[in-house]
Amino acid sequence: MAGSSVSVDYSEAMATAPIASGDWLVIAPILITMLGGAVCLMLRKNTDIQAKMGIALLGLLVLASLGLLIRVLDHGVITMVMGSWLPPFGIALTADALGATLTLIGAIVAFCAGVYGASTVDSTGRRYGFYPFLLLLMTGVSGAFLTADIFNLYVWFEVLLISSYGLLILGNDRIQLDGAVKYGVLNLVGTNLFLIATGLLYGIFGTLNMADIAIKVAELENPASGTLATVAALYFLAFAMKAAAFPVNFWLPASYHTPNIVVSAVFAGLLTKVGVYALIRIFVLILPESRIFMSDVIGWVAIVTLLTGAIGALAQSEVRRLLGYLVIAGIGSMLAGVAVGSVLAVSGAIFYAVHSIIVMTALYMASGIMNLLGGSYDLRKLGGLYQKNVTFAGVFLVLVFAVSGLPPFSGFWPKVILVDAAFQDDRVWLGAAILISGFLTTLAMGRVWIYAFWRGGPEGTPDGQTAQSVVTDTSQLTGAAVWLPLGILTALIIYFGLQPEWMLELSTQGASGVVDPLGYVRSVFGGEG
């Protein structure tokens, strides 16, 4: 490990060529959100300007991520090293199709949340830092999607974790403190496991650069050795905890229904998917042998996660808690893709991640609107919303179809791919579990729609009759702030459902980029890999 045995030409350790101006886009999502968070923090007393500034910065983040994705599609994988130290010495940020796609979708969701938050987060919440925390959360999320250094990935995980703590307890209610205790402790244990595995991996290979580790793992004589298996198992446990896979999922339903609804929406959309992304990155790109070694374990975890998520959702009468369980069921589908591990399966997992980010955020936002219209999150107390707003009932039905994986919406295609990939790999039970979970999800969500929208009024009112009107504060529903984000996300869901080619190609490109890491390694090491 120490330098004496290493023979490297240090004169070529520095990057001397100027960075192409377009390649600065790699770091743009991190810079915009980090500086933007600082600016919003300085504006904390002026809550109106702070909100406008935050939304504008998130819009800028969407544009920068879009530019990055277009550049990645044009030029292939692009890498930028910090401090001009060439890898493996310097920390590398690498944008490939997978990372850039998820960064863009994450940015869109964050922008929608910023707009939605303008109406649901009051001035007290803003003064205590809703927008700075949201921007810094996006720093962590974008950084995790773009980094090519495994310790750096840990740091971004911690950045998004501490921002999520801030968002979770915004408002300081009893229920939030209760949820935050469980979320906080279990997630901290999860990142500590990640750190342990990273320390051990560094002890084996003496490097932290993901591309460098991928090369060194491929050169190993005995890639399924006990030490590496331990590291892989620790990584799996750590990221399963982050992604809320069974049996380490209990922090999610305990906490996701407690904060402000827009915070729940962002969390449900982004946080667990960062765990899944890290799982794809580590297991498919860096440790492919360990993935094959562990694929049965991952497969069974996926099956049980799919079923617990869907069955848990059936047992809830609180809409937000029900949605929390659906997040878990979605994680099971993505894990199924990792378990199979072919290009087809991983592309299905990536497409499903994109779909799940959008649809879970949209569903939480819609449940917030249900609360504003019907005055409750409880299925027993909701009813007659169809009469109150027909368009919203239609939008919610679209979301019900999408989250259940029914055509013609975005959930259908990734499920088809995943089931197909599982059957091709002779994992019949995995494919069956995805279908059963989809069926149970249809039941759970169909019941939400029937009870909250279709029936005449809440429990106790005779059917077909309008309930005595619940006194609700509809002032938040008049502006565009709650409808615009829901509209954007629903439009994306319909677009990906009717025109899946673009996203299919993106996810296939992302998947082949991690299954065959040559392009990634070449980008980091400049052609010699």
CB of 83 to another protein, least distance (A): 13
- Provide the Cα torsion 173, 174, 177, 180; round to 10°: -90
Nearest to 247 by CA among 188, 192, 294, 312: 312
CB of 227 to another protein, least distance (A): 11
Does residue 258 bind another protein (CB under 8 A)? yes
CB of 292 to another protein, least distance (A): 25
Nearest to 143 by CA among 163, 162, 159: 159
For another protein, which is the closer residue by CB, 175 or 390? 175
For another protein, which is the closer residue by CB, 205 or 496? 205
Does residue 253 bind another protein (CB under 8 A)? yes
Integer Cα distance of 359 and 524 in angstroms: 34
For another protein, which is the closer residue by CB, 199 or 479? 199
Nearest to 418 by CA among 314, 358, 331, 486: 331
- ∠ CA 499-66-28, nearest 5°, is 160
For another protein, which is the closer residue by CB, 319 or 346? 319
Which of residues 48, 459, 479, 499 is near another protein by CB under 8 A? 459
In angstroms, the first-to-last Cα distance of the chain is 21
Residue 318's DSSP bridge partners are: 378
What are the φ and ψ backbone dihedral angles of 364, each rounded to 5 degrees?
A: -65, -40
- Provide the Cα torsion 235, 238, 242, 248; round to 10°: 130
For another protein, which is the closer residue by CB, 172 or 424? 172
Span 163-202, contacts to another protein by CB under 8 A: 165, 169, 172, 174-175, 177-182, 184-185, 188-189, 192, 195-196, 198-200, 202
For another protein, which is the closer residue by CB, 234 or 489? 234
Query: Running DSSP on this structure, what letter comes out for residue 80?
Result: E
Does residue 151 bind another protein (CB under 8 A)? yes
Element (H, E) at 239: helix 226-243
CB of 8 to another protein, least distance (A): 8
For another protein, which is the closer residue by CB, 213 or 422? 213
Does residue 229 bind another protein (CB under 8 A)? no
Token pair listed for 65: 């991520």
Which of residues 22, 66, 76, 158 is near another protein by CB under 8 A? 158
Centre a 10 Å sphere on the Cβ of residue 429 and count the other Cβ atoms it contains. 13
User: What number of residues does the chain have?
Assistant: 529
For another protein, which is the closer residue by CB, 147 or 410? 147
Q: Which span sits near another protein by CB under 8 A: 57-65, 138-146, 289-297, 313-321?
A: 313-321
Token pair listed for 284: 């498919």
Site string for another protein, 462-501 (x = CB under 8 A): -x--------------------------------------
For another protein, which is the closer residue by CB, 253 or 269? 253
CB of 421 to another protein, least distance (A): 34
Element (H, E) at 129: none
Token pair listed for 230: 């331990």
* Residue carrying structure tokens 């109106």: 48
Q: Which span sits near another protein by CB under 8 A: 71-79, 314-322, 497-505, 506-514?
A: 314-322
Span 4-23, contacts to another protein by CB under 8 A: 4, 6, 10
CB of 154 to another protein, least distance (A): 8
Q: Are 327 and 272 spatial neighbours (Cβ–Cβ below 8 Å)?
A: yes
Token pair listed for 430: 């995995």
CB of 204 to another protein, least distance (A): 8
Which residues, in sequence order, are CB contacts of 149 under 8 Å at separation 6+?
91, 92, 208, 209, 210
Span 368-387, contacts to another protein by CB under 8 A: 378-380
Integer Cα distance of 305 and 45 in angstroms: 44
For another protein, which is the closer residue by CB, 166 or 487? 166
Q: Which span sits near another protein by CB under 8 A: 25-33, 235-243, 247-255, 475-483?
A: 247-255
What are the φ and ψ backbone dihedral angles of 61, each rounded to 5 degrees?
A: -60, -40
DSSP line for 439-450: HHHHHHHHHHHI
For another protein, which is the closer residue by CB, 182 or 216? 182
Q: Which residues bind another protein (CB under 8 A)?
A: 1-4, 6, 10, 151, 155, 158, 161-162, 165, 169, 172, 174-175, 177-182, 184-185, 188-189, 192, 195-196, 198-200, 202-203, 208, 253-255, 257-258, 314-317, 378-380, 447, 450-451, 455, 459, 463
